[in-house]
Amino acid sequence: MRNKKLFFFVLFFFSFKVELSRGQNNRKTEVNVGVVTDVGKMHSDIEMLCINMSLSDFYASRPQFQTRLVLNIADSKNDVVGAAAAALELIKNKQVKAIVGPWTSMQAHFMIEISKKSWVPLVSYSATSPFLTSLRSPYFFRATYEDSSQVNAIKAIIKIFGWREVVPVYIDNTFGEGIMPRLTDALQEINDRIPYRSVIALNATHDEISVELLKMMTMPTRVFIVHASPSLASRVFIKAKEIGLMKPGYVWILTNAVTDDLSLIDETGVDAMEGVLGVKTYIRKSKDLDKFRSRWRRRFPRMELSVYGLWAYDAITALATAIEEAGTVDLTFSKADAGINVSELEALGLSQYGPKLLQALSRVQFRGLAGDFGFVKGQLQPSVYEIVNVVGTGERSIGFWTEENGLVKKLDQQPQSMSALSTWKDHLKQIIWPGEADSVPKGWEIPTNGKSLRIGVPKRIGYTDLVKVTRDPITNSTIVTGFCIDFFKAVIEEMPYDISYELVPFETPDGKPAGDHNDLVHQVYLGRYDAIVGDTTILANRSSYVDFTFPFIKSGVGLIAPIKDQVKRDSVTFLKPLTWNLWLMSFAFFFIVGATVWALEHRVNPDFRGPPNYQASTVLWFAFSTMVFAPKERVFSFGARLLVISWYFIVLVLTQSYTASLASLLTSQQLHPSVTSMRSLLEKGESVGYQRTSFIHGKLKETGFSQSSLVAFDTPEECDELLRKGPKNGGVSAAFLELPYMRLFLGQYCNTYKMVEESFTVDGFGFVFPIGSPLVADVSRAILKVAESPKAMELDRAWFKKRDESCPDPSTSPDPNPYSTARQLGVDSFWLLFLIMFLMCVFTLGKFTLLHQMFLLCTGIDDDVRWDSRKSCNQREGANSFPRITIGDDQQKESDFSFTVLDRSLDFIRLD
């Protein structure tokens, strides 16, 4: 078979050479160029045919050129040493001015050193390893794309689907390892993790491949990037499908090392790759490319043209152009001094033509079959990659990646429309996933044939409503219950995939706690637990070596203290609703109002007349009887009546306010804490309590509390006992508790203690995972779903139901003093009413005095006149009877005249 291929290759080669020689002028200068290839290989046959077609097309379209390339083929024998020996042979015996090839990056590594040493440019159309760039040889030209140029396209695919872990699968040689540094950096830019690298030898057996794939199956990561030769990739996928790694849920991404040569893989291998994504070198369509493909299909219908054949075509075109530009001056080699012992490599000498050809190659630019051709720092620079999806026995284009716009469905997509894109379907066409799955794989799952997650839970002595660990006396199995456990189970139900786990208590063999929460969190860092579920507070120092999910319950550190009733109830409690100033002001106005009414009424109202003692008692009686709105004395004058009505309103307001305040004082407890703040505790040096296993101890030490003033407790009962004893009896003045524990504590002792302030703020309780675990993001999303659902309220009521509904909830009531003392009523609350009443008294008395004086002036009656209103109003003698006017001790009947004095303002005398 090998001899047939070789014969086929030689036949076509000589046919092109004869065709080329017919069009050449004997006066053209021939320049020897070497070609190092794996003679007899399919890829070598394709590239050599493209090279000969390139020379034929180039000189046929440029007959005026004075140079002609003469190809000297050397067989590398598919070996690194063979490639190096072939290069030495070409330079030493053929004195070639440039070398094209070789096929692999490993062969090129040593050949680059040879070309650098001899000043012979090396042009490779298939050596893609980034390691070759690090050799920094100016005589090495890469007429293809470096492998690392596609990592940004791979990164964009991983980022758009949100996969958090990736496992590279690559061949164990320089070519496979070359892409890894740049790929690792690219994944780190999007915070993706590489938990494992699967390295497979080129000549690995089927059993070795199976062992590696089975190891990958037991891992939770489901996203794999394959960078290998087409032959090895075909073997890997056939075995992966056989084992079960091509089922729904898996993601495979191929680099262009496989997709560019997918036509070289047999049908069985391609069928095993169904559902795989790939990054492929994009070749823009052009008329020249279409014509070349048409010619290729006519001449070689059984051969599939590859992208490497197109690059080989363009590489020869570039080399022929550069040689024509460099000219034919000084095509010799300088020989080494034969008298000096030199190695065979040093004996090659230096190509005097090399520096000129180097400069010419660096300036070459043209539009080739594979696209724009031009060397930038010795290699081609790609700008577009095609994203393909392997379906059936072929591939289907689903989008493109460009440096400007990232992932797009079409190359002509406008950049401004990218701002509205939100899902992968806006960037890529429909994808068929492995196993013909329609939904996007999550990229991470707990393997069903792998071990369950070991989840640590704290062993608590007190506050077991949050986490409680017990043993079944019959089966001796562990039973874990509590609010945190039930919430975690609700979160697991919301996860997009199944998770197998077991809850492992953090306890000693005798059932006691194995340490505090810091010790438990450290176990995750050490790898003894895969996660922690419980009342673990999210802290900055802990997050430096573990990852936390979103908090599933709010937290903080509150200060609680005993509360006391500040009101002393005794025999004079009835006086406390009003201040002494208000009492005195009220009594004063009782006298003022009574005296004012007496002044207005005593001249005309018999109820306000009599001896001085009687009048004084009447004033007092009238004043205090208004307090119950039942005075016996009648009021005749308009001013007095207005004054009494106003005073009734004020008395009503005073009595109602007094009644309400007294009722509140006698029936409500005015509870106040014995401690007001943490600062007061520090200033007085008081003893305080704290939870034994909590981080609070460290916070209190940082704040300034001495160790001697800190007393630890475990259970709510211990905390209650310490607070009841007080510091004088070996107890504490106050205690520090996290808010979830405080809710439970105040549910038991609501009327005895209260929260004074929230001394420290923390993020809350969260679940703990190792740093970089992809479970963190999924669990956090599930926590948000549960928190926004009715399930969260159900769990809250189920586990915090002991709390009295009348008690304030520290987590929802930020007011540190929800009970306020009823304030005594003072003059400041009623001064406006008293002021109005005083002005009315002054106004009424002033008006009465002014009118009284006017009446006396008009009537001529002096102040000694006294009116007997009872006689003048009640004693009547028929129609001719007249009222009597008493002046001194004399009486006189007014028979010859009558007069009436009507004065509504005075309203104290009426004459008929």
Using only C-alpha atoms, what is the Rg of the chain?
52
519 vs 631, more confident = 519
155 vs 348, more confident = 155
Q: Which fold has domain 672-762?
A: D-Maltodextrin-Binding Protein; domain 2 (3.40.190)
Q: For 29-144+301-379, CATH number?
A: 3.40.50.2300
115-148: per-residue pLDDT in tens? 999 999 999 999 999 999 888 899 999 999 999 9
Beta-carbon contacts of 728 under 8 Å, excluding residues fewer than 6 positions away, are: none
The per-type count for the chain, helices as H runs and strands as E runs, is: 27, 32
pLDDT at 133: 87
22 vs 330, more confident = 330
DSSP state letters, 499-524: --EEEEEEB-TTSSB-S-HHHHHHHH
- DSSP 3-state percent helix, strand, coil across the chain (nearest 5): 45, 20, 40
pLDDT at 242: 94
68-116: per-residue pLDDT in tens? 999 999 999 989 999 999 999 999 889 999 999 899 999 999 999 999 9
pLDDT at 592: 78
The answer to whether 226 and 166 have CB atoms below 8 angstroms apart is no
**Over residues 206-221, mean pLDDT:** 92
754 vs 467, more confident = 467
Q: Is the pLDDT confidence value at 15 over 60?
A: no
Three-state DSSP class for 140? strand
**Over residues 795-809, mean pLDDT:** 67
The answer to whether 375 and 141 have CB atoms below 8 angstroms apart is yes
699-734: per-residue pLDDT in tens? 888 888 888 889 999 888 899 899 888 888 888 988
**Over residues 521-548, mean pLDDT:** 92
Whole-angstrom Cα distance, residue 365 to residue 367? 7
| Residue 532: pLDDT band with limits 50, 70, 90 | very high
Q: Is the pLDDT confidence value at 544 over 60?
A: yes
Burial of residue 567 (number of CB atoms within 10 Å: 0-12, 13-18, 19+):
middle
**Over residues 259-288, mean pLDDT:** 92
159-171: per-residue pLDDT in tens? 999 888 899 999 9
| Residue 641: pLDDT band with limits 50, 70, 90 | confident
**Over residues 650-669, mean pLDDT:** 73
299-349: per-residue pLDDT in tens? 999 888 999 999 999 999 999 999 999 988 888 888 755 545 556 666 678
pTM: 0.66
- What one-character DSSP code corresponds to residue 896? S
Q: Is the pLDDT confidence value at 784 over 70?
A: yes
pLDDT averaged over every residue in the chain: 81
| Residue 450: pLDDT band with limits 50, 70, 90 | low
pLDDT at 227: 96
Q: Is the pLDDT confidence value at 616 over 80?
A: no
Whole-angstrom Cα distance, residue 174 to residue 132? 9
**Over residues 482-506, mean pLDDT:** 89
pLDDT at 73: 94
- Same fold: 29-144+301-379 with 672-762: no
Q: Is the pLDDT confidence value at 762 over 80?
A: yes
For the chain, the structural domain boundaries read: 29-144+301-379, 150-282+383-426, 453-554+769-801, 573-667, 672-762
pLDDT at 445: 79
**Over residues 767-790, mean pLDDT:** 90
Best mean pLDDT range from 153-162, 683-692, 708-717, 803-812: 153-162
231-266: per-residue pLDDT in tens? 999 999 999 999 999 999 899 999 999 999 898 888
Architecture of domain 150-282+383-426: 3-Layer(aba) Sandwich (3.40)
Residue 367 main-chain phi, psi, to 5 deg: -95, 105
pLDDT at 290: 94
pLDDT at 868: 42
**Over residues 445-472, mean pLDDT:** 82
Whole-angstrom Cα distance, residue 205 to residue 232? 10
Q: What tokens were used for 567? A: 């009101």
Q: Is the pLDDT confidence value at 624 over 90?
A: no
pLDDT at 701: 87
**Over residues 600-614, mean pLDDT:** 70
Whole-angstrom Cα distance, residue 111 to residue 306? 24
pLDDT at 83: 94
Of the chain, the percentage scoring pLDDT greater than 90 comes to 41
Q: Is the pLDDT confidence value at 853 over 70?
A: no
Quick one: which of 641, 674, 643 has its CA closest to 562? 674
Q: For 453-554+769-801, CATH number?
A: 3.40.190.10
pLDDT at 513: 87
Beta strand 371-374 with 885-887 is unpaired
pLDDT at 99: 96
Beta-carbon contacts of 114 under 8 Å, excluding residues fewer than 6 positions away, are: 84, 87, 88, 91, 120, 122, 345, 348
pLDDT at 896: 33
pLDDT at 179: 93
